[in-house]
Chains A and B, each alone.
Chain A
Amino acid sequence: MEHIRTTKVEQVKLLDRFSTSNKALTGTLYLTATHLLFIDSHQKETWILHHHIASVEKLALTTSGCPLVIQCKNFRIVHFIVPRERDCHDIYNSLLQLSKQAKYEDLYAFSYNPKQNDSERLRGWQLIDLAEEYKRMGVPNSNWQLSDANREYKICETYPRELYVPRIASKPIIVGSSKFRSKGRFPVLSYYHREKEAAVCRCSQPLSGFSARCLEDEHLLQAISKANPVNRYMYVMDTRPKHRMQSWWATQKDIGRIIVRISSKIWNDEKIRESHEQKRLNAMANRAAGKGYENEDNYSNIRFQFVGIENIHVMRSSLQKLLEVNGTKGLSVNDFYSGLESSGWLRHIKAVMDAAIFLTKAIMIENASVLVHCSDGWDRTSQVCSLGSLLLDSFYRTIRGFMVLIEKDWISFGHKFSERCGHLDSDPKEVSPVFTQFLECVWHLTEQFPQAFEFNEAFLLQIHEHIYSCQFGNFLGNCQKEREELKLKEKTYSLWPFLLDDQKKYLNPLYSPKSQAVAVLEPNTVSFNFKFWRNMYHQFDRTLHPRQSVFSIIMNMNEQNKQLENDIKDLESKIKQHKNKQTDGVLTKELLHSVRPESPTLKTSLCFKEQTLLPVNDALRTIEGSNPADNRY
């Protein structure tokens, strides 16, 4: 609270960034410990969580006041005009402080209290049980077992305690392999395909920098391939682009030359050891040792494959470019498409999707196991493993299954949520929309396969909202060890039970789980199947969206159908009862009259019909009619 100097400013204007009318809403701005709240003259509230704020900008003073532009991580952009510069300055400074916390303990999740007792909270955390999930996949079994090697996080700090490895891989092999892999992230099981007995495994890059090899690592890979009784060949997918690895090899040669040159210098001049050049050399040598890929000559039965997903820095600037283009006022169609093209965003999305399809095909067509890695094995690897599993297994396309998938491939395997989402005031170079890309890939799948998913778009948007909100504990921290140290399960709540409680909002009314055709999804990745995800990147720009929602109306109809069917059954059984009671079998007037008033369900369902015509809820953006003033014609 010490950061808040002004808690309330009146006569603040809120501008719509896509409306031309320059018609602003006037209202009052409140600053609380957790939220920025704007209440306009129609009593409509706009809540902005401090943690959602990505940047605050104070623009040059104008005649009407001092403009304050706030960009949020959920792609909301608000443009306030505060009448007095002093107030604006206070709010600006407060928001700068409040939006960037230095300690985990200051995040919203640690103060958020949804009025649940401890046992309810604990039950919430137990909702997703990964051991149960591995059991569902069919492990442990004769080829795969639970390893206790990382029980105390001794081998790998960023992995979970429970890891599944080939039964024939002994502990020394695991330990040896982990020493050869960046950050100790040795190959482990991510998904097991019961029918094909093939596995999706994940790891980080080998430290084969100066063409070193590691026999234990080679053994572990062999063990994985042997754990597949059908196909001894396995794929090693390096999700990085080949050209980048090759250019890296070139720099490595340069480094070699520098080392030779500098060593001779060191030889000549002792002092140089302390110099900057020495430090730089070390960094370079470390980096050199930290990069590499498996040499096919050293590993038997592997097929090596690059799939070309760019790194977190490329992705970050790609999204930045995309948002810049989209934020332009009066954007022309041509500028939009050339901006979309030059941002490269859809190209990257396609690359992730293509990689997942490659993985799926390896398993379904060749019956081969696949080992996926990138550099550290927590970004691109998570994308490819999780998306691949989603294509392979319809369970992950259900609401609960999707939660399990995120828990497994993202949270437990150490996707660095806190760094990638910038939860704390830390290195901005670590921020990257890797998880957003995953959600976007899933959205593209829901577009191509409208009946294959139990959940709808609102579910994806809601999850996206909460990876940044810091309201729940699930996405805090960068790995399981860190989460345990933060005692998140004792001090914060899990998001999943809250989503499940609201399940109705997230259901896809067209979902047809029984249709066999969608067992394994085979998406078509021809370029024109990729579209700009307006509902994500413009989710708060009301005027850009369809004014009526098909989803909500179908959802309501569907629900109404179910209710009416129940009513009919109910009434029929009542009629039957009465018939049975009355031996003469004649329904008297009194009886039916007694049925009808007694049937409140019938009444409510009829009212319900009226409701379907009304706007349903804000999240689904149902606006009957629209306003020409919102648009630029």
Chain B
Amino acid sequence: MEFSELIRTGRAQAELLRGPGAPPLRGTLCVTGHHLLLSPGPQATSDLWLLLLRSVDSIEKRVAGDSGTITLRCKDLRVLQLDIEGVEATLDIARSIEALSSLESVITSFPFFYRPKGLRLGDAWHFHPPEHHYKRVARETNAWRLSEVNEDFSVCPSYPRAVIVPRAVDDDALARSARFRQGGRFPVLSYHHAPSGTVLLRSSQPLTGPQKRRCAEDEELLRAVLAGARPGARGFIVDTRSAQAAKQARMTGGGTEAKAAYPGWKRLHRPMERGRPLQESFVRLVEACGDLEQSMDRWLSRLEGCRWLAHVKEALSTACLAAQGMEREGACILVHGAEGTDSTLLVTSLAQLILDPLSRTMTGFQELVEREWIQAGHPFQLRCAHSAFSHARPKHEAPTFLLFLDCVWQLGRQFPLSLEFGEGLLLALFEHAYASPFGTFLCNSEKERCLCEVRTRTHSLWSGLNQPKEQRKLRNPLYVLNPLAIWPSVEPQSLRLWQGLFLRWTRPPEPSEAAWEKVWQIVTDKEKTEGSQPTVSASEPQP
């Protein structure tokens, strides 16, 4: 196997420091194709320690005397320190980790080799196909159809095979509309809000260009959307760029819908940060969180300066705006920015979480992530190539998905009984999006996943997470179905730093974990005591 060429030293003696709360480990360090192993030796009681090399974000080496130190900063924000015997060994191991952790080839990545016990290949991959979502929509309205115009990914390389579109628009018109939208991302249905009879759509920007081009089929498509919705429905186009940025985009061939061309639709601009500034915000926040010595003033000014919570507020309030437009004003909403693969998805997925009780369940949320992020073509491989510690020049990295998870966490804090899943699931999704033994977050689109045969050759994260042993970590013990929309407060006083993620490895977790343990205990006690009632009546003899 080609990995062996990259591994310079098989093994060395080392000590591993894992930060507060975890005792140091001593043993034999070993680099394999995908992992860093530390075997504590035959007498030790502790188990083998394992780190996926893919999760290493940055590596730093130092040598002094006849030993060396390697500091590994991981994509899940963990910082590990390895003290290794022997200078040569240290340098070799560092070089091996560097080479192996930055391999770009998808099909040699670990998910293609991971074969856990108890899981079957191919399981859970078919959990959330577009057909599944369409069935639900079709039960509520017949104005929409499932189109397979993109079956061979030729119309839009970043869309899935099947998308939901207005019944009145045929596939040819869709293809023409796609040519008018960046990356072929023509407007498709994201969510049908049955109570108000309105829909949430997403697309990319129209390619109006400096000449203000128009496209009859695209206009027809949006007209059909209004016609298929509640009678007299208006439409709002939520552009996630500022009015100025949208105008400027015309220079490079993009642009925005002209008012005259789309009667009934009104444009709203809600500028959201994306791309590099968002990545920098993430990097600065993580930097600030790593400094345990700073004064209160310094900490608060860094928290302000990184602007992360301002981004959280932007994302939540734009999503609320979209949701409010549907629920309160009975309007159809089309969301797009430029490419329609980042902030657009952030808004549409959050709006659904606010409106749709089903998406707040365990399976509903997984379906939401699968449908609105993975199948909708968020380029995970590009966005999550590096996390906050990498020294590499950021190219396409942006923590859009993390921002989504943070917003969900904020919703969960404000409505602690309304989400069936807990912080554990959000943390797991963050980890797996950046480095995972499962195939779910691999590649940038369904097309690429198809080419790499991800579905047949790797395991699905959902089948891993839905195993019974994982449930206690992932579920919210206090969940009660809440049929209402959940409108969060977006005032700065109501938004909190997500300590469970950003300070996960720097603060001692014991007290809060113990408290959750107690909550679980109370909930199970409740189930037990309630369960034992029937046994009393069951002892009643049959007449």
B490 and A625 form a contact (CB under 8 A): no
| Interface residue from A336, A527, A531 paired with B295 (Cβ < 8 Å) | A527
Chain A residues with a Cβ closer than 8 Å to the other chain, count: 75
Residues of A within 8 A of B451 (CB): none
* Contact between chains at A524 and B507 (CB < 8 Å): yes
Contact A557 B522, CB 8 Å, known A547-B414, A550-B478? yes
Question: Min CB distance, A568 to chain B, in Å?
Answer: 6
Contact A625/B417 with A337-B303, A347-B295, A450-B515 known, Cβ cut-off 8 Å: no
How far is A18 from B495 in the complex, measured between Cα atoms in Å? 15
Query: When chains A and B are docked, how far (Å) is the Cα of A602 from the Cα of B532?
Result: 12
Closest to B518 in A: A510
CB distance from B516 to the nearest CB of A (A): 9
| Minimum CB distance partner of A331 in chain B | B492
Can you name the residue of chain B whose Cβ is closest to the Cβ of A522?
Answer: B508
Interchain CB contact under 8 A, A528 and B299? yes
Q: Which residues of A (264-304) have their CB < 8 Å from a CB of B? A: none
Find chain B residues with CB under 8 A from A632 CB. Answer: 317, 490-491
Residues of A within 8 A of B487 (CB): 625-628, 630-631
Cross-interface CB contact of A631 among B309, B418, B489, B507, cutoff 8 Å: B489
**Contact of B511 with A547 in the complex, beta carbons under 8 Å:** no
Within 8 A of B (CB), among A522-579: 524, 526-532, 534, 538, 543-550, 553-554, 557-558, 560-561, 564-565, 567-568, 571-572, 575
A206 at the interface (CB under 8 A from B): no
Give the distance to chain B from A251, nearest Cβ to Cβ, in Å: 26
B17 interface residue (CB < 8 Å to A):
no
CB of B301 within 8 A of chain A? yes
| A561 vs B480: C-alpha distance when bound (angstroms) | 18
Given A450-B515, A532-B493, A544-B489; A346-B414 close (CB under 8 Å): no
Among the listed A528, A553, A633, which residue makes an inter-chain contact with B321, where contact means beta carbons less than 8 Å apart?
Answer: A633
State the total of A-B contacts with C-beta under 8 angstroms.
197
Asked whether B190 is an interface residue with its Cβ less than 8 Å from the other chain, the reply is: no
User: In the complex, are the beta carbons of B310 and A334 less than 8 A apart?
Assistant: yes
Flag if B488 contacts A553 (CB, 8 Å): no
CA distance A558 to B522 in the complex (A): 6
In the bound complex, CA of A532 to CA of B494 (Å): 10
State the Cβ distance, A24 to closest chain B Cβ, in Å.
Answer: 19
Residues of chain A contacted by B496 (CB below 8 angstroms):
531
Interface stretch, picked from B77-85, B374-382, B533-541, is: B533-541
- The reply on B395 being an interface residue by CB < 8 A is no
Q: How large is the interface on B (under 10, 10 to 19, 20 to 34, 35 or more residues)?
A: 35 or more
> A575-B539, A624-B484 given as contacts; is B478 within 8 A of A337 (CB)?
no
Is the beta-carbon distance between B301 and A341 smaller than 8 angstroms?
A: yes
Cα separation A472 to B46 with both chains bound (whole Å): 59
Q: Which listed residue, A450, A564, A628, touches B530 by the CB 8 Å rule? A: A564
Contact with B along A335-372 (1 / 0, CB 8 A): 11110110010110010000000000000000000000
Contact at B515–A451, with CB atoms within 8 Å? yes
Of all chain A residues, which has the CB nearest B512? Answer: A450
With an 8 A cutoff between CB atoms, is B245 at the interface? no
| CB under 8 Å from chain B, chain A span 572-598 | 572, 575, 586-589, 592, 596
Say which residue of B318, B321, B541 sits within 8 Å of A587 (CB atoms): B541
- Within 505-543 of B, Cβ neighbours of A (below 8 Å) are at 506-508, 510-512, 514-515, 518-519, 522-523, 525-526, 529-530, 532-533, 536-537, 539-541, 543
Chain B residues with CB under 8 A of A543: 489, 491
In the assembled complex, how far is the CB of residue B414 from the closest CB belonging to chain A, in whole angstroms?
A: 5
Contact with A along B453-496 (1 / 0, CB 8 A): 00000000000000000000000001010101111111111111
- Do the beta carbons of B486 and A547 come within 8 Å of each other? yes
Say yes or no: is A509 at the interface (Cβ < 8 Å to chain B): yes
User: Is the CB of A113 closer than 8 A to any CB of chain B?
Assistant: no
B499 touches A528 (CB 8 A): yes
Residues on A with beta carbons closer than 8 Å to the beta carbon of B295: 347, 527
In the assembled complex, which residues on chain A have CB atoms less than 8 Å from the CB atom of B318?
A: 633
B300 at the interface (CB under 8 A from A): yes
B503 surroundings in chain A (CB, below 8 A): 528
Are A510 and B530 touching (Cβ within 8 A)?
A: no
Take A451-B518, A550-B478, A633-B324 as given contacts and tell me if A589 and B414 are in contact as well, using a CB distance cutoff of 8 Å. Answer: no
**Distance from A576 Cβ to chain B, minimum over Cβ atoms (Å):** 12
Task: State whether B298 touches A528 (Cβ < 8 A).
Answer: no
Give the nearest-CB partner of B308 in chain A.
Answer: A333
CB nearest neighbor in A for B481: A613
- Does B207 make an interface contact (CB < 8 A)? no
**B412 to nearest A CB, angstroms?**
10
Shortest beta-carbon distance from A328 to chain B in Å: 10
- Which residue in A333, A528, A529 is a CB contact (below 8 Å) of B495? A333
Q: How close is B69's CB to chain A, nearest CB, in angstroms?
A: 24
Which residues of chain A have C-beta atoms less than 8 A from B532's C-beta? 564, 568
Contacts of B301 in A (CB 8 A): 337-338, 341
Contact B313 A350 (CB under 8 A): no
A527–B293 alpha-carbon span in the complex (Å): 8
Q: A625 and B492: CB pair below 8 A?
A: no
Residue of B nearest to A609 (CB): B530
Which of the listed residues A554, A572, A632 has the most CB atoms from chain B within 10 Å of its own CB?
Answer: A554
A 22-38 to B, binary, CB cutoff 8 A, 1 in contact else 0? 00000000000000000
B-side interface residues toward A, CB under 8 Å? 289, 292, 294-301, 303-304, 307, 309-310, 312-313, 317-318, 320-321, 323-324, 327-328, 413-418, 478, 480, 482, 484-497, 499, 503, 506-508, 510-512, 514-515, 518-519, 522-523, 525-526, 529-530, 532-533, 536-537, 539-541, 543
Hey, which bits of chain A sit against chain B, CB under 8 A?
18, 326, 331-338, 340-341, 344, 346-347, 350, 448-452, 509-510, 512, 515, 517, 524, 526-532, 534, 538, 543-550, 553-554, 557-558, 560-561, 564-565, 567-568, 571-572, 575, 586-589, 592, 596, 602, 609, 613, 624-628, 630-633
Q: Jot down 13 A-B pairs with beta carbons below 8 A, ordered by A.
A: A340-B300, A341-B297, A448-B511, A526-B292, A527-B300, A545-B494, A546-B416, A548-B414, A553-B478, A571-B536, A572-B536, A613-B480, A628-B320
Given contacts A452-B511, A568-B529, 15 further A-B contacts (CB under 8 A): A332-B492, A337-B301, A515-B514, A524-B508, A526-B507, A544-B491, A546-B413, A548-B482, A561-B525, A572-B536, A596-B537, A628-B327, A628-B487, A630-B487, A631-B491
4 residue pairs, one from A and one from B, having the closest CB atoms: A625-B484, A337-B304, A336-B492, A527-B299
